[in-house]
Amino acid sequence: MRTEAAELVFDEATKVYPGRESAAVDHLSLTVPEGEICVLVGPSGGGKTTALKLVNRLIPLTGGDIRIDGTSILEQDVVELRRSIGYVIQQVGLFPHMTVEGNIGTVPRLYRRPRSWIKARSAELLELVGLDPSYAKRFPAQLSGGERQRVGLARALAANPPLMLMDEPFGAIDPIVRARLQDEFLRLQKEIRKTVVFVTHDVDEAIKVGDRIAILREGGRLAQYDTPQQILEHPADEFVAEFVGRDRALKALALRTLGELELSPATEDGLPRLPADTSLRDALALLVAERRNALLVVGADGAPLGVATREDLLA
Amino acid sequence: MTGWRLADGGPVIPNFGHGGECLRDNGWLCTSWVRQHWGDILQPALVQHIELTLIAVGIGFAIAFLLALVGFRWRVFDPPLGAFTDILYTIPSIALYQLLVPVTGLTVTTIEIALVSYTLFVLYRNIVAGLRAVPPEVLESARGMGLTRRQTFLRVELPLAAPAILAGLRVATVATISIATVAAFLIYYGLGGPIFDALGQPDIFRTELLASGGLAIFLALSADALLALLQRALTPWSRLR
């Protein structure tokens, strides 16, 4: 599969709904580098979804501009623009009268791709999103919520768009399946490296999924745009600190793994052993639960790498 | 009253002489009479009846579809169009036939106009309701993927409305088959011809009544079954929900 991605720039993008005094999105400026996931997060009324829909012009801009790879969205034919952007929504919106393959083939059919091409492409995409190729002939009504969202993702990827817009894609899915879908989405993203704008109201999801997080506050104003680590460790103001939560220090720990620490040589026996890809948060939880002060970090093969103490974890 | 010309084309008095005992006793279904008059009474009436129905439902569907497009696309037109088809539907059929006679005369056209106007109500309502019932998230994803308005209509809205449209077609067809029998009140045409004929006999010609009435029922049932099969074949996904 080709790996194309586009740089997305919001340049003073503004939306004021007719008849409203205040803006829904207020002079939003940010750049999403190609191949990165930018999560828009914030309280309701923050204009996250509005900002997302400005990009594919489902909602028209009031002021400012949005550019994809340097080209203004206003200069492009709106239908062509939308076909070149993958779009995934919370309720999925699969076409109930089409099979999974028919759904995936929607945009390719608009481009008059031959049947055989669509068949092969849908098999490829089903595998990519973790569904058996036998799903091709099923109808949406025969799928679970998680499976539908996977098909929705496959459908959005069908024309290999350089940019994906995802509006709370996992919001309607139960927590266990949601966590799995997030993991698989991140694995998939490593492979396909699209530029992604991802809307959520869930801070934890934002931290887990985002390369960068844009926190929007009431009135559609950007409160902070930074990496998850930076936002958790250096929130720009009270609002951001409050929004990410009192446990932000713990959330920051969840972003790093034992393998990233400088370990001291093993001296004691009988320490609890944890693999190097364990998060610092989980490691700390283990130390607290077992009332210990240090643990032994081991590699994937089980070989000891070194010792990490409580102080190391919290440093 | 011009209406009582129903017996013009049909035999007023059945030939009891050749009918044997069954006919002399006015039996419920004398097969000899049915066999004898299949070719000159029953079959032509059946064919006429099918023609009446097909034309009425066909034209009715075309008109209802165009009206529904207008009512669906521009919501302001929906209430008046709905009310219009509603009013047509509430006029009793015999009254409507009589209203039309001064204009179109004692012709098949008069019958068709009345039948068509009855189909509009069910068809219009079902087409509009079917188109309106498409879930908003489906429309949003269609728009977001870059389907044009026309493509959205033809590829998404219309196919999703198909079950409701076909259901309306079923009701309209069965209703037309039944209302068309009353058309013989006006002229001897369709299965209503022999039915009215039999009823007009001094003590009701049972065999003719049962044979022609039975054909009308059979026609309605088969049309319903055929359309139900069509519905299943065209919208296999609709039974999954």
The residues, any chain, with a CB within 8 Å of residue A217's CB and separated by 6 or more, are A42, A43, A46, A223, A239, A243
Q: Which two tokens stand for residue A75?
A: 């200069």
Please answer whether residues A240 and A290 qualify as being in contact, where contact means their C-beta atoms are separated by less than 8 angstroms.
no
CB contact under 8 A, A96 and B235: no
A-B contacts (CB, under 8 Å) = 71
Q: For chain B, what is the radius of gyration of the CA atoms?
A: 22
What would the mean pLDDT of B87-113 be, rounded to a whole number?
81
Distance CA A217, CA A220 (A): 6
Distance CA B144, CA A90 (A): 13
**Residue A139: which of B138, B162, B240 has the nearest Cβ?**
B240
Q: Which two tokens stand for residue A172?
A: 């309607």
H or E segment and range at residue A254:
helix A248-254
Model confidence at B4: pLDDT above 50? no
Q: Which two tokens stand for residue A254?
A: 């969840």
Which pLDDT band holds residue B10 (cuts at 50, 70, 90)? very low
Distance, CA of A188 to chain centre: 11
Nearest to B174 by CA among B211, B209, B117, B219: B219
Residue of A nearest to B240 (CA): A141
Model confidence at B15: pLDDT above 60? no
Query: Would you list the domain boundaries of chain B?
Result: 50-236
In the prediction, which pLDDT does A3 show? 54
CATH superfamily of A8-84+161-252: P-loop containing nucleotide triphosphate hydrolases (3.40.50.300)
**Residue A106: which of B140, B145, B162 has the nearest Cβ?**
B145
Which pLDDT band holds residue B5 (cuts at 50, 70, 90)? very low
Distance CA A184, CA A127 (A): 12
User: Higher-confidence residue: B195 or A147?
Assistant: A147
What would the mean pLDDT of B162-184 be, rounded to a whole number?
92
Best B141, B152, B158 member to test A by mutation, with max A CBs in 10 Å, is: B141
Residues of B with Cβ-Cβ distance to A155 under 8 angstroms: 145
SS (H, E, C) chain B: CCCCCCCCCCCCCCCHHHCHHHHHCCCCCCHHHHHHHHHHHHHHHHHHHHHHHHHHHHHHHHHHHHHHHHHHHCHHHHHHHHHHHHHHHHCCHHHHHHHHHHHHCCCHHHHHHHHHHHHHHHHHHHHHHHHHCCCHHHHHHHHHCCCCHHHHHHHHHHHHHHHHHHHHHHHHHHHHHHHHHHHHHCCCCCCHHHHHHHHHCCCCCHHHHHHHHHHHHHHHHHHHHHHHHHHHHHCHHHHCC
**DSSP result, A36-93:** -EEEEE-STTS-HHHHHHHHTTSS--SEEEEEETTEEGGGS-HHHHHHTEEEEETT--
Residues of A with Cβ-Cβ distance to B145 under 8 angstroms: 82-83, 87, 106-107, 155-156
Which pLDDT band holds residue B9 (cuts at 50, 70, 90)? very low
**DSSP result, A175-189:** HHHHHHHHHHHHHHH
Distance CA B220, CA B17 (A): 34
Q: Is B241 on the interface with A (CB under 8 A)?
A: yes
In the prediction, which pLDDT does B29 show? 75
CB contact under 8 A, A83 and B145: yes
In the prediction, which pLDDT does B1 show? 34
Distance CA B135, CA A166 (A): 19
Nearest to B209 by CA among B30, B22, B4: B30
What would the mean pLDDT of A233-260 be, rounded to a whole number?
89
Residues of A with Cβ-Cβ distance to B142 under 8 angstroms: 93, 95
Q: Considering only residues 102 to 131 of chain A, which have any Cβ-Cβ distance to chain B shorter than 8 Å?
A: 106-107, 110
How large is the ipTM? Answer: 0.84
Please answer whether residues A162 and A6 qualify as being in contact, where contact means their C-beta atoms are separated by less than 8 angstroms.
yes
Query: pTM of the full predicted structure?
Result: 0.83
CB contact under 8 A, A107 and B146: yes
Task: State the smallest CA–CA distance between residue B73 and chain A in angstroms.
Answer: 19
Q: Is B154 on the interface with A (CB under 8 A)?
A: no
Model confidence at A312: pLDDT above 70? yes
The residues, any chain, with a CB within 8 Å of residue B221's CB and separated by 6 or more, are none
Q: Considering only residues 122 to 141 of chain B, which have any Cβ-Cβ distance to chain A shorter than 8 Å?
A: 135, 137-141
Residue of B nearest to A138 (CA): B237
Number of neighbouring beta carbons within 10 Å of residue A80: 10
Q: Specify burial of residue A113 (Cβ count, 10 A radius: 0-12, 13-18, 19+).
A: middle
The residues, any chain, with a CB within 8 Å of residue A133's CB and separated by 6 or more, are A123, A126, A127
Best A97, A144, A151, A160 member to test B by mutation, with max B CBs in 10 Å, is: A97
Residues of A with Cβ-Cβ distance to B160 under 8 angstroms: 95-97
The percentage of residues in chain B with a pLDDT greater than 70, rounded to a whole number, is 92
Q: Considering only residues 136 to 175 of chain A, which have any Cβ-Cβ distance to chain B shorter than 8 Å?
A: 139, 141-142, 152, 155-156, 165
Nearest to B29 by CA among B162, B235, B209: B209
Model confidence at A87: pLDDT above 50? yes
Q: Which two tokens stand for residue A305?
A: 């790498």
Please answer whether residues A158 and A125 qualify as being in contact, where contact means their C-beta atoms are separated by less than 8 angstroms.
yes
Say if A8-84+161-252 and A256-314 have the same CATH topology: no
Query: Would you list the domain boundaries of chain A?
Result: 8-84+161-252, 256-314
Strands of the A273-275 sheet, one edge to the other: A273-275, A294-298, A304-309
Fold exhibited by the domain B50-236: MetI-like fold (1.10.3720)
Residues of B with Cβ-Cβ distance to A95 under 8 angstroms: 138, 141-142, 155-156, 160
Q: How high is the mean pLDDT of chain B?
A: 84
**DSSP result, A195-210:** EEEEEES-HHHHHHH-
Q: A25-32 and A71-72: which strand pairing? A: unpaired
In tens, the pLDDT along A7-54 reads: 999 999 999 999 888 899 999 999 999 999 999 999 888 899 999 999
> Domain A256-314 has what CATH class?
alpha beta
Number of neighbouring beta carbons within 10 Å of residue B53: 25
Number of neighbouring beta carbons within 10 Å of residue A45: 13
H or E segment and range at residue A288:
helix A280-290
Q: Specify burial of residue A196 (Cβ count, 10 A radius: 0-12, 13-18, 19+).
A: buried
**Residue B145: which of A87, A139, A141 has the nearest Cβ?**
A87
Model confidence at B179: pLDDT above 60? yes
